[in-house]
Amino acid sequence: MQIFRPDDEPDRPHGIMFLRQRLGQECPNGRAPLRMRIWPVVSMVLILISGLVGTPTPSLTGEGLVTLLGGGTLVVLIGIELYFDPQDDLAEFVFILLLGFASIALMAVQPSGTAVLGTYAAVASAVIRLPKRLALAAIIPIIGIVNVGILTSSNDRILALAWTNIAYIFMFVIGNLLRLSEDHQIQARELLEEEERTRLARNEAAALDERSRIARELHDVLAHSLSALSVELEGARLLALDRDVDSDVIAAIGRAHRHAAAGLDEARAAIQALRGDCVPGPDKLEDLIEEFRVHGIECTLEVSGEPRRLPSEAALAVFRTAQEALTNVRKHAEEAERVSIRLDYDPDGVQLIVTDSAGDGAEPRVPQPAALAGAGSGYGVSGMRERAELIGGRLLAGPTEDGFRVELWVPA
């Protein structure tokens, strides 16, 4: 059984110190909670009170000066424990030595007081907080000086020596048991964390398998269907040209063909995203804008901040939101004259704002749910919002004075 904290792992705290460090990370000031430091404070307060009310009382001469110095040292140690909470091994070593020597000084001038409790607390703290060598370096001189003092001053030396050393052994064992208990708690917590990491890894593997299955289904069903539809529409357009069909019909077939081709490209991009391949992101916004300008609506893009590579899910959310917003403008905002896209790179995220404007004097555009559903985009806004929330972002959408505004923020 190992009594002290081992010396061969100085960079990794064990026992109480490790628990104090872990709990300290949960506190805004970086220190361990007060409940972890209250027991040494209570013992030092009891010793201090006993020294102040005992004889001799603190003064600037004689034994009273020893009482004053010992009590003053305890006051400083209480303040350090409460407000600074030393974590470094050397700082703890000095703290424990000062506690032991201050208690010994009070014991010398007030033999009937409670100062001996400070030496017990110092021994227990050394076992709990310090590695083996430093713990022995603190315990041996404290116990040795106390035993020498008993042998030179006590009338009943043997009995006093026996009871004092039994108390030291008791505090030694209690400190070791407390440290072992905390070690077991830490090991249990680490096992739970490891189990949680394993569970997350399994879930991630299952999600990857499901994404691969969906990608295969999209490729085998949707992509093939859209490809066949595109070929059939092109054939219908050529047939209509050959038979001198009305030009409006030919133009409608051509638009349908372009939509089918665009849908096929989107299906392929979705398959790539599901398989973890390169996904479209903010770098593709210019292509979206060029396609949008074909419909005769002015569209501008403004980028602020330092552009940088985004996580795949964040990049895809920005692209899809801009794509959906522009699609809604084209389908449901016939009065729109211009669209502005703003992309802001913040230190902790990326913001995308898409605003369309109907021009001066136009009525605000409020999308009608029935119209959206009829156009196949009834869940466009809710889909964008769900995509953003899944990665910790947010999406706001609503009418403005002369148009509509979509605002997306995603962490990056």
301-346 tens-digit pLDDT? 999 988 888 887 888 889 889 988 888 887 776 677 889 999 999 8
- In terms of phi and psi (left: phi > 0; alpha: psi -120 to 50; beta: otherwise), the region of 369 is alpha
- Domain end point (choices 134, 153, 172): 153
CA end-to-end span of the chain, whole Å? 49
The amino acid sitting at 36 is M
Residue position matching structure tokens 């004092």: 164
- Domain end point (choices 110, 129, 153): 153
* Cα separation, 133 vs 126, whole angstroms: 10
Largest Cα–Cα separation, the chain = 128
Q: Which of 312, 288, 323, 341 is nearest to 410 (CA)?
A: 312
Residue 273 lies in a domain: no
SS3 call for 30: coil
CB 204 within 8 A of CB 214: no
Residue position matching structure tokens 């069909």: 245
- In terms of phi and psi (left: phi > 0; alpha: psi -120 to 50; beta: otherwise), the region of 13 is beta
Strands 298-304 and 338-345: parallel
Predicted local confidence at residue 374, as pLDDT: 35
Six-digit token string for 30: 């970086």
How far CA 64 is from CA of 33, 57, 67, 94, 106, in Å, comes to: 36, 5, 5, 25, 10
The amino acid sitting at 320 is R
Residue 167 lies in a domain: no
Residue 229 lies in a domain: no
Domain count, the chain: 2
Residue 27 lies in a domain: yes
Residue 50 lies in a domain: yes
* Cα separation, 324 vs 225, whole angstroms: 22
What one-character DSSP code corresponds to residue 33?
P
CB 385 within 8 A of CB 366: no
Question: Could you list the residue range(s) of the whole structural domain that residue 29 is in?
Answer: 15-153
Predicted local confidence at residue 214, as pLDDT: 75
Residue 163 lies in a domain: no
* Cα separation, 99 vs 159, whole angstroms: 25
Predicted local confidence at residue 153, as pLDDT: 76
Strands 403-411 and 349-357: antiparallel
* Cα separation, 87 vs 21, whole angstroms: 8
Residue 248 lies in a domain: no
Residue position matching structure tokens 């009482």: 67
The 10s digit of each residue's pLDDT in 143-180 is 888 888 888 876 777 888 888 888 888 888 887 887 78
Q: Which of 62, 85, 65, 61 is nearest to 73 (CA)?
A: 65
CB 301 within 8 A of CB 337: no
Residue 205 lies in a domain: no
SS3 content of the chain, % helix, strand, coil (to 5): 65, 10, 25
Can you give the pTM of this predicted structure? 0.43
* Cα separation, 83 vs 176, whole angstroms: 26
- Domain end point (choices 153, 179, 194): 153
Six-digit token string for 277: 């391949």
SS3 call for 13: coil
CB 127 within 8 A of CB 176: yes
Length of the chain: 412
> What stretches in the chain show pLDDT beneath 50?
1-5, 8-20, 22-30, 33, 35-36, 361-378
Predicted local confidence at residue 30, as pLDDT: 46
CATH value at residue 348: 3.30.565.10
